[in-house]
Amino acid sequence: MSLTSDLRVLWHLAFSPVRGKTHADRLDSFYEGQAGDYDSFRARLLKGREELISGLNPPAGATWVDFGGGTGANLEWAPWISHCGKVQVVDLCAPLLEQCDKRIAARGWTQVETVHADATQFTPQEPVDLVTFSYSLTMIPNWFAAIDQAWRILKPGGRIGVVDFYASRKYLDVGQVRHSWFTRSVVPVWFATDNVHLSRDHLPYLNQRFERETQSEHLARIPYVPLLRAPYYLFVGRKGDGSQAAAGNPPASNPAAAG
Ligand SMILES: C[S@@+](CC[C@H](N)C(=O)[O-])C[C@H]1O[C@@H](n2cnc3c(N)ncnc32)[C@H](O)[C@@H]1O
């Protein structure tokens, strides 16, 4: 972490115009000036990734797709990566994948590769054991399609791990955290200026699609913005036999974190 690196990122977040006709063009335009500084700034902004990834621990030989994996930061939090059969970091942003390729080469991970593709469409050659999304659903316009695609490419019994920012619904199921009006209404507008769209529907949809193993909700501090707190969640689920889509999960029990 250095102040110069942080200032470069903050300048890009605040002032750099996002241009391009396609979603991929806009991602390249947003990230190309900050790709080299991405990891150190995001380590303080994107909480819960280490907790999520390190706890997944798939079986030996497992195949893993990290959707919207960017620079491949999640790979560092997977002490079990050496026993994976194949790992694919799928992202639409070329400058971030270049950073990921450098990381893979430096680490000598021969079972890991980057794939320049859209998470709503990418289909691996064989169904996989594990799919993850860390802070990528909020940047994928059609995130419903990305979750559906994760369900499609998982083996029966395969697992999904997600961590992301969100805002709660106004009226909730028992056990969920209800955010204040400010957090539900103002924080999403602040994030949307950088094309990060906090949704109230991620958790309900994940709970409908997958058999929930764990779910927790938290609040993160934002670097250089002392008063703002951003809610984020961790969700781990399993691909069931399809009956899940009709039945949904029972309400979660949550160590509440209101905001
Ligand atoms: C906030 S970054 C998170 C990156 C990484 N997962 C992490 O935790 O550091 C969001 C990522 O989603 C990627 N992304 C956005 N839309 C995408 C799409 N449709 N398909 C694949 N990746 C996408 C972006 O390029 C970016 O790398």
pLDDT of residue 259: 59
Q: How far is CA 234 from CA 21, 46, 219, 222, in A?
A: 33, 12, 11, 18
- Report the predicted TM-score, pTM, of the whole model to 2 decimal places: 0.91
Residue with the nearest Cα to atom 8 of ligand 1?
134
Asked if residue 199 lies in contact with residue 167, where contact means CB atoms within 8 angstroms, the answer is: yes
- For the CA of 119, the closest atom of ligand 1 is 20
pLDDT in tens, 115-161: 999 999 999 999 999 999 999 999 999 999 999 999 999 999 999 99
Residue 69 CA: which ligand 1 atom is closest? 6
Please tell me the distance between residue 60's alpha carbon and the centre of ligand 1 in angstroms: 27
Which of 30, 98, 132, 136 to mutate for ligand 1's pocket (most ligand atoms within 8 Å of CB)?
Answer: 136
Strand-pairing partners, residue 219, are 231
Nearest CA to ligand 1 atom 14: 68
Which of 50, 51, 91 is the best mutation target for the ligand 1 pocket, counting ligand atoms within 8 Å of the beta carbon and taking the most?
91
Confidence of residue 243 (pLDDT cuts 50, 70, 90): low
Q: Are strands 154-165 and 211-222 parallel, antiparallel or unpaired?
A: unpaired
Gap from CA of 250 to ligand 1 centroid (Å): 30
* Side-chain half-sphere CA neighbours of 175 within 13 A: 11
Residues enclosing ligand 1, CB less than 6 A? Answer: 23, 27, 42, 46, 49, 68-70, 73-74, 90-93, 96, 118-120, 134-136, 139-140
- Share the mean pLDDT of the chain: 89
More confident of the two residues 241 and 135: 135
pLDDT over 80 at 8, yes or no: no
Measured in angstroms, how far is the CA atom of residue 32 from the centroid of ligand 1? 13
Residue 88 CA to its chain's centroid (Å): 15
Classify 3-247 by CATH class: alpha beta
In tens, the pLDDT along 70-90 reads 999 999 999 999 999 999 999
Is the predicted pLDDT of residue 236 greater than 60, yes or no? yes
Distance 42 CA to ligand 1 centre (A): 12
Rounded to whole angstroms, the Cα distance separating 72 from 70 reads 5
Cα 207 to middle of ligand 1, angstroms = 22
Q: According to the model, what pLDDT value does residue 145 have?
A: 98
Q: Which residues contact 117 (CB under 8 A, 6 or more apart)?
A: 90, 91, 92
> At residue 17, does pLDDT exceed 80?
no
